[in-house]
Amino acid sequence: MIKLTFPRELRLLTPFDFSYVFQEPIRAGSPFLTLVTRKNNLAHPRLGFAIAKKQVKRAHERNRIKRLAKEYFRHRQHQLPGIDFILMARQPVIELSNQQLVSILDGLCQRIITKQMV
């Protein structure tokens, strides 16, 4: 049975993890979100957030973005390769509905996976 949890092992937590991804990133972006990724040496993907207060001012808006991304990632973690993902947001993202945000995130993930396979 496949577990759909989001344990600590699936998160980027330390500054070293973040700097590792930012050293040689593969990027996919839209006017709303940017995914910065890098292949990791693990058998599973990991997710981190870099959502600046300057871009998304209110905490509840930043939390909504994080909550939707975590839920998307939690459901698809077994389909994703061993890649570290960092999600960054831009100011217009707050105008999107939850469904639009998830569809944009899905498109970015698909672009990243095809870039990683090449």
109 falls in which pLDDT band (50, 70, 90)? very high
Indicate the pTM of the whole model: 0.92
Return mean pLDDT, the chain.
Answer: 93
Give residue-wise pLDDT tens across range 84-101. Answer: 999 999 999 999 999 999
Q: How confident is the model at residue 118 (pLDDT cuts 50, 70, 90)?
A: low
Q: What does the pLDDT read at residue 4?
A: 86
CA dist 79 and 11 (Å) reads 16
d(CA 89, CA 98): 14
Residue 1 has pLDDT above 90, yes or no: no
17, 84 in Cβ contact below 8 A? yes
Element (H, E) at 84: strand 83-89
